């Protein structure tokens, strides 16, 4: 057990024992500091305050990089430290190294996944290698390799259940593309293929986004190339059985955009996607426990007025992200040649999205929008353009009352030599 958790449990036990056994003067006035009731109320208030405080905090940000042409001598990930006010610029781990055809980091790593509640980093190593590597990053910022194994076909997207025990992985090599199932040991972090009799199941070509609802045991996949297009909805009806939901795949009339943009609010059974529509690009759906979906009455939604352009689709990057509490959506787009980030508010009762006054211009070709697991920061990658030509990390601090505050940009690397940022992922710390 983590030493921090042990210490906290010891403190709680001492406080509880004190509240039960502590003897004070036999007074009965809760407002009197010498009374028994005053002491008990003080201890109980401290206990309540402890349990209401945040149990997840910002800690690290993974930035995955690759080169698109040989020599592949800048491949892998760096881990940046996140402080109370945002990225500190400190690199805790720098794993950018030469390519390896038989092990991590491969040649062109494409995506990382951090299972819920864990400090594990699952990396898909990309073309030519197509391996799945699992690292663990301790609370003390030490990195260790758990396993490095071949993937099934071309793994590109992963969705992990809330308990961290099951992972769904897309395979871009099968025809049609398909979704495999893995079991994950939540203690060791190891992954094992667990397809059973109902996996893999087929989806449309080129899956761009993959999500799962643990509440209803449903897998959502957005596809954008060749028929059928839309959102495939697969309902697991048992450990070895499953069916596609009635009406799947769902296509509201405008096909999903080529972004990793599915946003899922499990508690309210709400799902949002982005389309290629230049005026109303955001669609919302309500689904039932069987996965049957219907378009929200006021959908589609517009984040701004005018003809909008999409943010970068590099590596199916994310341009729409949901805050961890499910109250806001951040969306990136272009308007009149300028790229913006806009904060949108969600009405949980209706599912409707409305614009807020939080609108900021961002750098060129923004991509990889990522909400910190703590909900306190919003990150994205852009480039400086012009004569500088650098990749930069942009971030915003997010307050509990829904306000964004722009932080200073952090230069990541030069854009020269075909180096590219393929993905970023938040790695919070849990208490």
What does the pLDDT look like over 368-385, one tens digit per residue?
Answer: 999 999 999 999 999 998
For residues 43 and 109, state if they share a domain: no
CA separation for the pair 131, 155 (Å, rounded) = 8
Number of separate helices (H) and strands (E) present in the chain: 2, 31
Query: Sign (positive/negative) of CA torsion 302, 320, 66, 100?
Result: negative
190-209 average pLDDT score: 93
CA 192 to mean position of chain CA atoms: 22
Q: How many CA atoms lie within 13 A of 325 on its CB side?
A: 16
90-99, 120-129, 167-176, 338-347: which range is least confident on average?
90-99
Q: State yes or no: cis peptide before 105, omega within 30 of 0.
A: yes
CA separation for the pair 313, 335 (Å, rounded) = 16
Structural domain of 372: 54-430
For residues 257 and 386, state if they share a domain: yes
What does the pLDDT read at residue 78? 93
Nearest to 62 by CA among 104, 130, 122, 2: 122
Nearest to 287 by CA among 329, 254, 347, 245: 245
The token duo for 280 is 């109303």
What does the pLDDT read at residue 23? 41
Q: 43 φ, ψ to 5°?
A: -65, -45
Residues 6+ apart with CB under 8 A from 301: 280, 282, 283, 284, 344, 352, 353
Which residue did the predictor score with more confidence, 67 or 7? Answer: 67
Query: Sign (positive/negative) of CA torsion 42, 48, 54, 55?
Result: positive
For residues 359 and 409, state if they share a domain: yes
Residue 1's pLDDT band (cuts 50, 70, 90): very low
For residues 161 and 43, state if they share a domain: no
170-193 average pLDDT score: 95
Q: 359 φ, ψ to 5°?
A: -135, 125
For residues 295 and 422, state if they share a domain: yes
Give CA torsion, residues 124, 127, 131, 135, to 10 deg.
-40
For residues 287 and 393, state if they share a domain: yes
CA separation for the pair 265, 323 (Å, rounded) = 10
Q: Give residue-wise pLDDT tens across range 87-139.
A: 999 999 988 777 788 888 888 899 999 999 999 999 999 878 899 999 999 99
For residues 172 and 313, state if they share a domain: yes
What does the pLDDT read at residue 107? 80
Q: Which residues pair with 241 in a beta bridge?
A: 238
For residues 80 and 34, state if they share a domain: no
CB 76 within 8 A of CB 109: yes
Residue 357's pLDDT band (cuts 50, 70, 90): very high
For residues 341 and 227, state if they share a domain: yes
CB 206 within 8 A of CB 223: yes
What does the pLDDT read at residue 44? 52
215-219 average pLDDT score: 97
Which residue did the predictor score with more confidence, 337 or 17? Answer: 337
Q: Is the pLDDT of residue 227 over 90?
A: no
For residues 123 and 7, state if they share a domain: no
Residues 6+ apart with CB under 8 A from 108: 66, 67, 68, 72, 75, 125, 126, 127, 128, 422
For residues 343 and 278, state if they share a domain: yes
263-272, 322-331, 335-344, 406-415: which range is least confident on average?
406-415
Q: Give residue-wise pLDDT tens across range 28-64.
A: 554 454 555 545 555 554 444 444 345 899 999 999 9
Q: What is the mean pLDDT of the chain?
A: 87
Q: Is the pLDDT of residue 142 over 90?
A: yes
Residue 204's pLDDT band (cuts 50, 70, 90): confident
CA separation for the pair 318, 315 (Å, rounded) = 9
Residue 322's pLDDT band (cuts 50, 70, 90): very high
Residue 388's pLDDT band (cuts 50, 70, 90): confident
What does the pLDDT read at residue 17? 53
Burial class (CB in 10 A: 0-12, 13-18, 19+), 24: middle
Three-class DSSP category at 239: coil
Number of separate domains in the chain:
2
Instruction: Tell me the whole-structure pTM to 2 decimals.
Output: 0.86
264-291 average pLDDT score: 96
CATH number at residue 200: 2.130.10.10
138-142 average pLDDT score: 95
Q: 316 φ, ψ to 5°?
A: 50, 45
Burial class (CB in 10 A: 0-12, 13-18, 19+), 26: exposed
Residues 6+ apart with CB under 8 A from 316: 156, 157, 208, 209, 258, 259, 260
Between the CA of residue 53 and those of 47, 237, 354, 431, what are the distances in Å? 10, 37, 29, 10
Q: Is the pLDDT of residue 21 over 60?
A: no
Q: Is the pLDDT of residue 15 over 70?
A: no
For residues 41 and 159, state if they share a domain: no
* Highest mean pLDDT of the ranges 11-25, 172-186, 249-263: 172-186
252-279 average pLDDT score: 93
CB 339 within 8 A of CB 363: yes
Q: 36 φ, ψ to 5°?
A: -65, -40
Total Cβ atoms within 10 A of residue 252: 20
Three-class DSSP category at 352: coil
Residue 193's pLDDT band (cuts 50, 70, 90): very high
């Amino acid at each position: 057990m983590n030493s921090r958790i042990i210490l906290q449990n010891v403190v709680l036990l001492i406080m509880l024992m004190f509240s039960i056994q502590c003897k004070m003067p036999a007074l009965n006035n809760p407002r009197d500091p010498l009374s028994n009731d005053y002491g008990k109320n003080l201890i109980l208030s401290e206990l309540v305050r402890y349990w209401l405080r945040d149990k997840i905090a910002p800690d690290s940000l993974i930035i995955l990089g690759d080169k698109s042409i040989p020599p592949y001598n800048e491949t892998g990930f760096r881990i940046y430290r996140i402080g109370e006010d945002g990225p500190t610029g400190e690199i805790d781990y720098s794993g950018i190294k030469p390519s390896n055809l038989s092990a991590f980091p491969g040649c062109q790593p494409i995506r990382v996944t951090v299972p819920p509640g864990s400090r594990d980093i699952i990396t898909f190593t990309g073309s030519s290698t197509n391996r799945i590597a699992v690292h663990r990053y301790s609370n003390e910022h030490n990195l260790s390799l758990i396993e490095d194994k071949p993937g099934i076909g071309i793994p590109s997207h992963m969705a992990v259940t809330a308990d961290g025990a099951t992972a769904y992985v897309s395979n871009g090599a099968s025809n049609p593309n398909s979704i495999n199932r893995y079991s994950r040991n939540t203690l060791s972090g190891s992954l094992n293929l667990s397809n059973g009799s109902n996996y893999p199941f087929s989806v449309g070509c080129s899956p761009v986004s993959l999500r799962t609802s643990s509440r209803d045991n449903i897998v959502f996949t957005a596809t954008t190339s060749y028929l059928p297009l839309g959102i495939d909805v697969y309902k697991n009806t048992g450990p070895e059985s499953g069916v596609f939901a009635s009406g799947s795949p769902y296509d509201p009339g405008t096909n999903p955009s080529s972004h990793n943009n599915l946003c899922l609010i499990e508690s309210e059974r709400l799902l949002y996607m982005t389309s290629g529509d230049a005026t109303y690009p955001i669609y919302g759906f309500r689904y039932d426990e069987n996965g049957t979906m219907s378009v929200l009455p006021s959908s589609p939604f517009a984040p701004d007025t005018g003809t909008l352009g999409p943010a970068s689709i590099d590596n199916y990057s994310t341009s729409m992200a949901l805050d961890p509490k499910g109250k806001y959506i951040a969306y990136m787009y272009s308007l009149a040649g300028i790229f913006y980030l806009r904060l949108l508010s969600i009405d949980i009762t209706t599912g409707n999205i409305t614009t807020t006054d939080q609108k900021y211009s961002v750098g060129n070709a923004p991509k990889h929008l990522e909400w910190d697991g703590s909900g306190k920061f919003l990150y994205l990658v852009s480039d400086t353009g012009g004569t500088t030509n650098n990749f930069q990390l942009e971030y915003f601090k997010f307050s509990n009352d829904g306000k964004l505050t722009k932080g200073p940009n952090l230069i990541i690397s030069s854009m020269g030599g075909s180096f590219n940022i393929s993905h970023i992922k938040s790695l919070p710390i849990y208490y």
